[in-house]
Structure 1
């Protein structure tokens, strides 16, 4: 019997299908940070919150006024797990206290990256989230089998060069899919 290697989705985008009714994931684009036999972790990248980096810095460095530019750096809702924990996606290059290279993109989870961004030392391209999305072993595979998601190759231009509200449609367009033409009803025509 041939041993089949499972197909994992690390370093891909997950596109929520229009019939996704889970409010945590309806109309989301998620970057998959890790996916293996034990489960998956991702960050929703198209849900800006009412918070900005300035709001976060007021909590982390109350003795300093945040630079004005920080008011224009949005904080995204990365998912429903550990919503008080920050994650920053950025191009590989700069290393911070807690940085993991994901292959062409890095994930940093230490406060020093926020201070570096605020103080103008970069990284200039970044996406800051609070919280993450997590799936238990086999859960994401089951959701795929139920047609809850599409996946496409990661594209840094979608993450770093487009506004949040453009990212989902841009990822779907990479697959030749117009989500507006898909029915939001589950089932078959």
Structure 2
């Protein structure tokens, strides 16, 4: 879907990077699809300071993910539905809106549980999918759709080998995703919550620490 525009499918690079399959295969092959990336204190890019990213696709061709803890300012779910002419309004249920990353900030992606899917959905793990079709917004607005979901405008992207280099430079930690980290809790607590899953106290973490 596109903000104030037409419905869109997932970018080709997303589909290519996701071709390696689900969570277990990604880990076995050295790829991290379905994992959460946690920005280290020494993160050089200010756009990702204290960010938590769900890595939706990762392969030799690159990686793409959705930032989970950056709010989308000045736009509500109902406002977005109005722009896309999605009924009913007001919606029977809502999902959280996020600034998903600096790439293609006008494009929308719903990260969601796999109890709902469409032909164009990208499988992230056996329990998690990414959908760019307006159909999912129609289902949610009508009171249906997936059990959990969030809508992100834009995404984070890496070229071939770029994410691996950043991990080697200790820019990121990684940890398995769970529904609480993905869909619940205050946005300003997600970075701390993600570190807590690794039993790391952020007060003791330095930018030169090793990675998981």
> Which TM-score bucket, shorter chain as reference?
0.7 to 0.9
Residue 90 of structure 1: SS of its match in structure 2?
strand
> Offset of 1:62 from its aligned partner?
7.5
Cα gap change, 1:74 to 1:104, in 2 (>3 Å): closer
**Structure 1 vs Structure 2 CA RMSD:** 2.1
Distance 2:71 2:84 in 1: 20
> Offset of 1:116 from its aligned partner?
1.3
Q: Does 1:57 pair with 2:81?
A: yes
| Residue aligning to 1:118 | 141
Normalising by structure 1, report the TM-score: 0.86
| Residue aligning to 2:205 | 182
| Aligned 8 A contact 2:51 2:69 in 1 | yes
Counterpart pick for 2:106 among 75, 78, 84: 84
Distance 1:152 1:67 in 2: 34
Counterpart pick for 1:25 among 48, 54, 67: 48
Counterpart pick for 1:143 among 166, 184, 187: 166
The superposition leaves residues 125-179 of structure 1 with CA deviations (integer Å, 9 ceiling, x where unpaired) of 1111000111000100110111100011121221123232222211111111122
Higher strand share: 1
Could you list the runs of 5+ residues in structure 2 that have no partner in the other structure? 1-27
**Number of residue pairs aligned between Structure 1 and Structure 2:** 180
Distance 1:6 1:101 in 2: 17
| Residue aligning to 1:38 | 61
> Offset of 1:69 from its aligned partner?
5.2
Q: Does 1:161 pair with 2:184?
A: yes
| Aligned 8 A contact 1:20 1:26 in 2 | yes
